[in-house]
Structure 1
Amino acid sequence: MTASRTWTAWSCTVRLTVDDPAVLGAACGELKALMDRVDKAASRFRPDSELSVVNSRADAMVPVSRLLVDLVDVSLVAASMSGGAVDPTVGAAVIAAGYNDDIERVRRRFPQPAEELKPIPGWEQVRLNRKLALLGVPQDSALDLGAIAKAWTADRAALVLSKRYGCAVLVEIGGDLRAAGEPAEPWIITVAERAGDPGVLVTLAHGGLTTSTRTVRRWETPDGSAHHLIDPRTGKPADGPWRTASVWAPTAVRANTFSTALVATGEAAVGRLTLAGHPARLVADDGEVTELAGWPAASRAA
């Protein structure tokens, strides 16, 4: 028997499912506590977060918590793995595009012109001293760890909760899912571009499954609609061949790295995905679907 609880946080849907109903309440409490710690460390919407302090002190090496060290470290690994397609230094570009507040408040604004574009400094200019827990960002830049932080939190929560309570766990934060433990039967997942939309069914026994899309977090500007997925090569919201990418990988962080890269840089990311061998489902602007590397059918576990 499974039990599940759903709530809203980080402007997205959070869902925790376990196959031992007796531990659901305690497990939910732990997931919420972890998300609160990550928010205090890495939210760019909180002026009191560690990340906001670092961003406000560009060119300085700022003492940070081990949690933020881990999150930045993971983001730099993702940047390297994706060939720079997933770049944490796009924060200033995201803000310039208009995404400088909670998405619902951004949408309610009268359309405002985008700020002047600035070059993306590049992830290799981030200075991270892991031993001393010091972090520095280049001048005129800002880190944005949003997508990677969601995936990292899903990974961490699923692994910790599964081990602590001795049960199978499925954590979903927005479009990032992570399964851990040994479920009696694989979880059945609906993969869709937006919550509530029709989707395809896949089975997930372990690992991470993420969906990145430019169809959800959108807002209006005088020049048309904008979204939060930035192409680091241009500093603008991505305008590649695929509006949505879903990827399975051994971890949610790894899956998110590739799903984000595919939407952000399009065909430039396909070669790396092919080498990694991760199943993917791509949706083009016209709705055409492309499935790669053995995207799982409903009868096959990922």
Structure 2
Amino acid sequence: MDSQSLKGLSLVALLFMLSLAACTPDAPDAAPVVMQLHGQTMGTSYSVKIINPPPGLSQTQVENGLQKQLEMVNAHFSTYLSDSELSRFNANPSTDWISVSEPLLKLIQTALALSRDSDGAFDITVGPLVNLWGFGPEIRAEHIPDEAQITAVLARCGYQQLHTRNNPPALKKDHADLYVDLSAIAKGYGVDRLAQWLEQHQVKNYLVEIGGEIRAQGKNAQANSWQIAIEKPEAGKREVWRVVDLDNQGLASSGNYRNFFEINQQRFAHTIHPKTGWPVQHALLSATVFHANSMTADALATLFMVLGREEALSFARQRNIHTILIEQTPHGLKEWSSF
């Protein structure tokens, strides 16, 4: 997935792992077996850590198995690869039904369901607006787009203009230049695919991360829950806000405190509201979401940065979603939790 795409611009790297270095217990013969892998995928980095892998599962087997999963995700969902299934759909000028694979159909249906549930605050067609404001792969904007430009691009966006069909699997767009970008959900999906592969091969203790989206299972090298540090949302700094435990969960975050520009002393952050076409203007700086899977956490973190603190907390509490929000107040940073 293109690192300049929507979710890449949502600063998914809010989180960093405290547990990437294995610690050895006091008794040398009790030292855990630690397997670590890392590399590049979806325009970002990934890392996997396994504690006490099952007998007979070699690092080569794990590397090859996980690589196949990553290649599949890119082949279906990448906007960075011109020959991916999603890129071919975006480039297809037809407004008739276009046959697609089951994985692409299901992921888009998941995204559209969240769009409906959030009344359009989450929208996988918002990419042209992101580009208009200079947060895409183009050169950073030096002026605010005028209303006519925003209105024209808004007409090309909107999840309601994308339709799905189950049998046979197909997608349909209302106009030829509708552009779908799954960056706000695909990295989380990729994390879940890697986790699924590990579990199918009897791995009990693991931490998987792609571009800051995480899923953890079991225990770390110290036989404790995996510990993840939430970053303090301040531009130009890398400080820990607080540490959370993660076990049998996915976790994702988005933030507005690094990717922004200022014109006439007014700040414009990269999170664009799909309904207005303008960058959000609320005080929420970061959203961290815990969920059973990383895919959903990934999408919700983006959604909450669109909604702002009050609406995000209401949305989360009504649906029993655990989120930690950090907001800028006149008296400094303040944390809010849905639980």
Smaller-chain TM-score bracket: 0.7 to 0.9
Change (3 A) 1:285 1:44: farther
Distance in structure 1 (CA, Å) of the matches to 2:77 and 2:167: 19
Cα distance, 1:46 vs structure 2: 2.6
1:170 aligned partner: 207
1:10 corresponds to 2:53: no
Q: Which has more radius of gyration?
A: 2
C-alpha distance 38-274 of structure 1, shift in aligned 2 (>3 A) = same
* Structure 1 residues 57 and 19: alpha-carbon distance in aligned structure 2, compared to 1, 3 A threshold: same
Of 44, 52, 55, the residue aligned with 1:20 is: 52
204 and 246 in structure 1: CA distance in 2 versus 1, 3 angstrom threshold: same
Give the whole-Å Cα distance in 1 for the aligned partners of 2:72 and 2:118: 27
The answer as to 2:296 corresponding to 1:251 is: no
Matches within 5 A, 1:225-244: 227-244=269-286
- The structure 1 residue matched to 2:256, chosen from 199, 214, 224, is 214
Cα distance, 1:16 vs. partner? 0.8
89 and 60 in structure 1: CA distance in 2 versus 1, 3 angstrom threshold: same
Q: 2:316 aligns with which of 261, 273, 291?
A: 273
> What is the alpha-carbon distance in structure 2 between the residues aligned to residue 277 and residue 50 of structure 1?
34
Q: Give the SS at the match of 1:178.
A: strand
Question: Does residue 75 of structure 2 align to residue 40 of structure 1?
Answer: yes
Selected match of 1:188 from 214, 220, 227: 227
Tell me how far 1:261 sits from its aligned partner. 1.4
1:153 to 161, 181, 190: 190
Query: What is the aligned-residue RMSD (CA, Å)?
Result: 2.8
1:201 to 1:146, Cα distance in 2 relative to 1, 3 A:
same
The answer to whether the 8 A contact 1:170-1:177 is kept is yes
Secondary structure of the structure 2 residue equivalent to 1:84: coil
Deviations 1:90-120 (A, max 9, x none): 122122223443xxxx5xx475557622226
Letter in 2 for 1:45: Y
Q: How far apart in 2 are the matches of 1:40 and 1:19?
A: 30
Number of equivalent positions? 287
**Which residues of structure 2 form unaligned runs of 5+?**
1-31
Asked if the contact 2:214–2:252 (Cα under 8 Å) also holds between the matched residues in 1, the reply is: yes
Q: Structure 1 pair 37/291, CA: closer, same or farther in 2 (3 Å)?
A: same
Match of 2:88 in 1: 53
Corresponding residue for residue 89 of structure 1: 125
- Percent of residue pairs identical: 24
User: 1:249 & 1:279 partners in 2: Cα distance?
Assistant: 7
Q: Does structure 2 retain, via aligned residues, the 8 Å contact 1:16–1:28?
A: no
Q: Please, which of 134, 152, 156 is the counterpart of residue 170 of structure 2?
A: 134
SS of the aligned residue for 2:288 comes to strand
The correspondence for 1:179, drawn from 216, 221, 242, is 216
Q: Structure 1 unaligned runs (5+)?
A: 295-302
Higher relative contact order (CA 8 A, sep 6+): 2
Shift of 1:272: 1.4
Residue 172 of structure 1 deviates from its aligned partner by: 1.0
For the 8 Å contact 2:218–2:248, the answer to whether it is kept is yes
Call closer, same or farther: CA 1:226–1:173 in 2, change over 3 Å.
farther
Deviations along 1:9-58, whole A, 9 cap, x unmatched?
A: 33433121111356444333333332222222222233222222222235
More helix by share: 1
The structural deviation recorded for 1:77 is: 2.5
Deviations 1:198-257 (A, max 9, x none): 2411111111111111234x2658787755432112123333221210111222122223
Deviation per CA, 1:77-100: give whole Å up to 9, x if none. 232343322111212212222344
Which of 327, 333, 338 is the equivalent residue of 1:284?
327
CA distance in 1: counterparts of 2:60 and 2:269, whole angstroms: 35
* TM superposition score normalised by structure 2: 0.74
Asked if the contact 1:159/1:180 (under 8 Å) is kept, the reply is no
